[in-house]
Amino acid sequence: MTVTRPARLTGAALCAALALIAAVWILKDLAALGSPVDLAWYWAGDHHFLIRGRSATSLIDAVLLVVSVAAAVAALRSRHAASALAATGTVTLALRLPGLWTPDSGALVTAFLELALAAALIVTAAVGRRPATASYEPLPTRPRTGPAVAAGVLLCVTALVVALWELYWSTELPLEITVDRFIGGRSVIKAALAPPPGWLSLVLVAVYGTAAVSAFVRARHSRSLGLLAGAFLTAGGIAEIARISRYELVGHWADLPTAEQVGVVSAFFELLAGITVLVLLAGRGAPAAAPGPYPSAGMPPPAPPHPPPPGW
Segment (H or E) for 3: strand 2-3
pTM: 0.88
How many of the other CB atoms lie within 10 Å of CB of 277?
28
What is d(CA 43, CA 52) in angstroms, rounded to the nearest whole number? Answer: 15
* 160: number of Cβ within 10 Å: 13
103 prior amide bond cis, ω within 30: no
How distant, in Å, are the alpha carbons of 52, 96, 239 from that of 40?
A: 15, 21, 9
Q: What is the pLDDT of residue 251?
A: 82
pLDDT tens per residue across all 312 residues of the chain: 688 999 999 999 999 999 999 999 999 999 888 788 888 988 988 766 555 557 899 999 999 999 999 999 999 998 888 999 999 999 999 999 999 988 888 899 999 999 999 999 999 999 988 775 554 556 667 888 999 999 999 999 999 999 999 999 999 999 999 999 999 888 888 889 999 999 999 999 999 999 999 999 998 888 999 999 999 999 999 999 998 988 888 888 888 899 999 999 999 999 999 999 999 998 766 555 544 444 444 555 556 656 665 555
Alpha carbons 39 and 33: distance in angstroms, whole number:
7
CA–CA distances in Å: residue 197 to residues 188, 200, 257, 298: 8, 5, 22, 63
| Alpha helix stretches (DSSP H) within the chain | 5-33, 36-44, 59-77, 82-96, 105-127, 145-172, 175-183, 197-216, 222-246, 258-282
| Residues 233/158, Cβ–Cβ less than 8 Å | yes
Contact of 236 with 225, CB cutoff 8 Å: no
The residues that bridge with 3 in the sheet, in sequence order, are 129
| 232: nearest Cα among 274, 260, 192 | 274
Contact between 60 and 68 under an 8 Å Cβ cutoff? The reply is no
CA–CA distance, 125 with 143 (Å, rounded to integer): 22
Q: Which helix (H) or strand (E) holds 2?
A: strand 2-3
